[in-house]
Amino acid sequence: MLRMKHRAIIPGEGQVTILDQRQLPHKIILNDYTDYRDIITAIKRLEIRGAPAIGIAGAFALALAARAEVKTDVEHMKRIMTDLAEEIKAARPTAVNLSWGVERVLNIAHDFGGDDKQEFQEHLWDEARSILEEDERLCEAIGRNGAALLKDGDTVLTHCHAGALATGGAGTALAVIYAARDAGKKIRVYADETRPLLQGARLTSWELMQEGIDVTLICDNMAGMCMKQGKINAVIVGTDRIAQNGDVANKIGTYTVAVLAKEHEIPFYVASPYSTFDSGQARTGDEIPIEERDAQEVTHIQGVPIAPEGVKVYSPAFDVTPRALVTAYITDKGITPGGRAD
Amino acid sequence: MLRMKHRAIIPGEGQVTILDQRQLPHKIILNDYTDYRDIITAIKRLEIRGAPAIGIAGAFALALAARAEVKTDVEHMKRIMTDLAEEIKAARPTAVNLSWGVERVLNIAHDFGGDDKQEFQEHLWDEARSILEEDERLCEAIGRNGAALLKDGDTVLTHCHAGALATGGAGTALAVIYAARDAGKKIRVYADETRPLLQGARLTSWELMQEGIDVTLICDNMAGMCMKQGKINAVIVGTDRIAQNGDVANKIGTYTVAVLAKEHEIPFYVASPYSTFDSGQARTGDEIPIEERDAQEVTHIQGVPIAPEGVKVYSPAFDVTPRALVTAYITDKGITPGGRAD
């Protein structure tokens, strides 16, 4: 199993420890939570982020909520679980994984047949743990499958953050790096800083440094030159959604990297759980709605203004990389070829 | 003549006014200087920047220095001018235009035949003014020639800052926008913010807003998506150096934009004085040395840390766009075709 130095969520006995990602990379703060409402707050204020990690946190939140109800019986607890689930899901209403994780624990609650309260609580806790462990195994499988694509001495470019901190395990794109390292390959990484929210600078470079991987931080606009100079052997990114035709929605800037990779004949890999292929109703990338973010994320960096007041801004959160620019999809079920001709 | 609302340098009677670009876009501060040493300081601390603007400032600095010497005769003044010129050129030793501007005034001083001190001083001042006015006319010609390439309703993407603030006139890339506007065309601009130093966010978007041009600020990694969405009709950038074969050195990120422009069949134009073609000994882009900048420019934004302490950084100041990616060069002497096949 890939052993990470830091994990986003660590379940304990009746409590959950969450690494406060808002403080990274400057401070490593671990918060122990026993009250589900604190986990809601943690999700709301982005202490924890990344689709799989949020889903796992939501599952534990509901399992914790069931533990808090001491003065009631199982029948009553089962009745109030639906309201508690809604409360947790409302922490980030658009996070599909959050709903999914919470629903899984809720279904277990509804299906519970006995009347032993402690057993009920443990049953829910075990389900939350299962979700975490399944995600860990997914990451492991993605990493192992992807590692076979990398050679000893390769340098990988990645965009945004698709690492351990976003999942229950070793991440998606970064799991490939860790698995290759564990297979004895020396792998270097170039990390795009990923404006506007700088996930590459704040999270990817930090996580890789913590794991002892040789990482070099660049501004997004330097990727082209690095490729032209022959510094990059492969690009690996994560993804938020994959349309039925294989088009990939991921953090803004991914499409630019994919175009550059094709121009320089560098393979472009998308790492994700196989289930991401089924995650949307979108038939093609054109059907994936693109969220626009607040102008302030571009005009200010950590509160400091860097642009004229009132300047017009265009800030899409994601872009869509057509299947034709993808060399292959790295999934837990194996490698699925993309649409790039070379 | 293109009339700019703001200019980098405004000569007066025995004094020079410089717009303090360090304060932009938050404050408009105009500093009046009568002492050449203050202009040296202004150049050193980047109150004034942009190759042509620095050359003009250097020329005025030497002309001002000659005015300060009241207790001596022309013969003696001519002797000390060389030392003064060296002192000014040392403000930014690698700035080719600074040396060039200072040398032009120095040559005028050495060639002066009379012994009338006031005449001598005015002669030098006139030469500095000539340098400014020549640059103004260059910008004007670049703008006029380039404007013919734009249609009413076009949207232009630009990278970094190649505007009025960098020159004695209306800029290079931005002069094309201003000239098209003055020719009655409605032109919109998308400005890349241009990490690490954010010249696009701080200067280009500010200057365009001041001139009443419809400008939208984006992060560098959004350019690809904007092109894919059909938002961009042309790319226009400036340049620092052009190799003999037409390869273009410009601010880091320019190459990425050029690759994206080709992929989307959007014309990619380089705007510069025709003399830039002769400016270097480099036969191809491979011979142009690429300056690497301090890691702190990437890891900190306006003093705020955004990356883990001690992270490795690669930060080239420039990149090289091969002639094959250039649709055409827009110069004061006309349009020179580039090497792009489409």
pLDDT at A278: 66
Q: How far is B200 from chain A (nearest CA, A)?
A: 9
Whether B1 maps to a domain, the answer reads no
Asked whether residue B231 carries a pLDDT value surpassing 90, the answer given is: yes
Do B170 and B132 fall within a single domain?
no
CATH number for the domain including B105?
Answer: 1.20.120.420
Q: How close does chain A come to B252, measured CA to CA in Å?
A: 6
Question: Does residue A4 form part of some domain?
Answer: no
Q: How far is B156 from chain A (nearest CA, A)?
A: 14
User: Is B4 contained in some domain?
Assistant: no
The per-residue pLDDT for B290 is: 87
Among A118, A140, A162, the domain-final residue is: A140
Between B144 and B92, whose confidence is greater?
B144
Q: Cβ contact (<8 Å) for A215 and B312?
A: yes
pLDDT of residue B164: 97
Q: Please indicate whether, in this complex, the C-beta atoms of A219 and B319 are within 8 angstroms of each other.
A: no
- Reported ipTM: the value is 0.93
What interhelical angle do A254-263 and B254-263 show, nearest 10?
A: 80
Q: Which of B25, B218, B313 sits opposite A308 (nearest CB)?
A: B25
Q: Residue B94's pLDDT is what?
A: 77
| Residue A246 within any structural domain of the chain | yes
Q: What is the pLDDT of residue B279?
A: 61
Q: In terms of Cα–Cα distance, which of A29, A22, A24 is closest to A47?
A: A22
A94 and A158 share one domain: no
3-state SS of A108-156 is HHHHCCCCCHHHHHHHHHHHHHHHHHHHHHHHHHHHHHHHCCCCCCCEE
Cβ within 8 Å of B, A 184-223: 190, 192-196, 198, 201-202, 205-206, 209, 214-223
A308 and A202 part of one domain: yes
Q: How many CB atoms lie within 10 A of CB A274?
A: 17
**Based on the domain organization, do B213 and B70 belong to the same domain?**
no
Looking at the fold, whether B113 and B172 belong to one and the same domain comes out as no
Looking at B123, B140, B157, the residue that finishes a domain is B140
Q: B220 and B160 in one domain?
A: yes
Indicate if A20 belongs to the active site: no
Domain boundary among A105, A140, A175: A140
Poorest-pLDDT segment among A132-146, A149-163, A323-337, B277-291: B277-291
Residue B185, min C-alpha distance to chain A (Å): 20
Q: Are residues B224 and B330 in the same domain?
A: yes
- B25 domain residue, yes or no: yes
> Under an 8 A CB cutoff, do A312 and B220 touch?
no
CATH number at residue B305: 3.40.50.10470
A280 — pLDDT class (breaks 50, 70, 90): low
List of E strands, chain A: 9-11, 16-19, 30-33, 155-158, 188-192, 214-218, 234-237, 241-242, 248-251, 268-271, 300-301, 304-305, 312-313, 318-321, 328-331, 334-337
Residues B298 and B331 in one domain: yes
Domain that holds residue A190: 149-337
Q: How many structural domains is chain B composed of?
A: 2
pLDDT surpassing 90 at residue B289: no
Domain assignment present for residue B2? The answer is: no
Considering the domain architecture, whether residues B124 and B154 belong to the same structural domain is answered as no
- B6 token code pair: 């703001």
Q: Does A315 touch chain B (CB under 8 A)?
A: yes
Supply the mean pLDDT for chain B: 95
**Does residue A15 surpass a pLDDT of 70?**
yes
At A51 the pLDDT is 86
* One domain, residues B282 and B184: yes
Q: How confident is the model at residue B307 (pLDDT cuts 50, 70, 90)?
A: very high
Cβ within 8 Å, pair B306-A228:
no
Same domain, B91 and B155: no
Same domain, A119 and A205: no
Q: Work out the average pLDDT over A146-157.
A: 98
A193 part of a folded domain: yes
Digit-coded pLDDT (tens) for A55-68 = 999 999 999 999 98
Instruction: Check if A301 contacts B (Cβ < 8 Å).
Output: yes
Per-residue exposure over B191-204, b if at least 16 CB sit within 10 Å of its own CB, e if not: bbbbbbbbbbbbbb
Nearest Cα residue to A306 out of A160, A218, A196: A196
Domain contains A342: no
| Mean pLDDT for chain A overall | 95
Query: Cβ separation of B195 and A192 shorter than 8 Å?
Result: no
pLDDT band at B48 (very low <50, low <70, confident <90, very high): very high
Q: Yes or no: say if B220 and A221 are a contact pair by the CB < 8 Å rule.
A: yes
Query: B193 vs A298: CB contact, 8 Å cut-off?
Result: yes
- Of A196-200, A308-312, B4-8, which range is least confident? B4-8
Q: Which of A34-38, B165-169, B273-277 has the lowest mean pLDDT?
A: B273-277
